[in-house]
Amino acid sequence: MFQLLIIKERRKIMATFLEKVKEVKLTELKDVIKSLNSLEVIEEKIRTVGVTKEDMITKFSLEVERLSEVNIDLPEDISGFYNAFWGDIEDTVEIVVSREKSSIKKKEKTSDKKAPKKKEKVKKKKEEKKESSKKIEPVSHKKEKKDKPLYDDFGFVKGTKNSLFVSSIKKKPKTMKQIKEELWNDKQSTFYDVFNKLKEKGIVDYDENKRMFVTAPSPKGDGFQG
C-alpha cells in the first residue's frame, strides 16, 4: 500500500491550503472522489454537487486517513492525489519551521550585543521560542507496522457501519427506518446499496413486513468484502 502522508498539523497553515485548493482542477477532484465512493468500505459517499472544493478535499482527506488507519489498500489514483496535495503543503511547513529557527538565532545574537547583562532573560526567551517552534514540528513519516484488519463473516471490516448493519439484521429482522434509529448509526445513514448487493447474492431479503433479514449462512470466502 502506498505510504500516506498524514499531515494534520500542516492544516493550520490555511493560506497554503487555500492556494493549493485553487490549483486543483475540479474535474480531477471529482474523478478521484468518484473512485473513492466506488469502494465498498466507504460508509458515506462524498458529495460533489452543491459543495465547495475546500469541503470536498477536506472530506476526501479525512476518509482516506480513516481507511489508512485500518490498513485498507487504496487505488493508486486515490493515494497519489492525497500525497501530491498534502505533500506540497508539508514542504511549505518545513520551510516555515526552518525560517523560524533562523529568526530565533538572529534575534538572540542581536539581544546579546545590545544587552549583555540580560543573559538570563535572553535564555528564557530562547527556551520559550523553542517550545513554540515544536508545536509545528514536522511529523515523522516512518510507516508504522499495523495489524491486518479483522473481517466479519460477511467480508466487512469489523467495527465499520456496514458490518454493524448486517450484524443488526442478522440478529433480528428490521426496517431501514429502525436501522436509522440504532445507537451506532449516529449519522442516521441508510444501507440500500449494501443490502441490494447482498440480496443479489441471496444472502439477505425482505419479509412480508418489508423488514430486512439474513437468509443465508456466512458467505465468507466468496470474495465479497466491504
Question: Which pLDDT band holds residue 3 (cuts at 50, 70, 90)?
Answer: very low
Question: Which pLDDT band holds residue 160 (cuts at 50, 70, 90)?
Answer: very high
Return the minimum-mean-pLDDT range out of 1-10, 95-104, 216-225: 1-10
pLDDT in tens, 191-224: 999 999 999 989 999 999 889 999 876 655 444 5
Selection from 2-16, 68-82, 120-134, 192-206 with the highest mean pLDDT: 192-206
Q: What is the mean pLDDT of the chain?
A: 76
Given a cut of 60, whether residue 71 has pLDDT beyond it is yes
Given a cut of 60, whether residue 73 has pLDDT beyond it is yes
In the block, which residue shows the cell 443465508?
Answer: 216
So what's the pLDDT on residue 31? 93
32, 77 Cβ separation under 8 angstroms: yes
Burial degree of 92 (CB within 10 A; 0-12, 13-18, 19+)? middle
SS3 content of the chain, % helix, strand, coil (to 5): 55, 5, 40
Question: Which pLDDT band holds residue 226 (cuts at 50, 70, 90)?
Answer: very low
Between 93 and 148, the more confident residue is 148
| pTM value surpassing 0.85 | no
- Per-residue pLDDT, averaged over 171-181, amounts to 93
204, 213 Cβ separation under 8 angstroms: yes
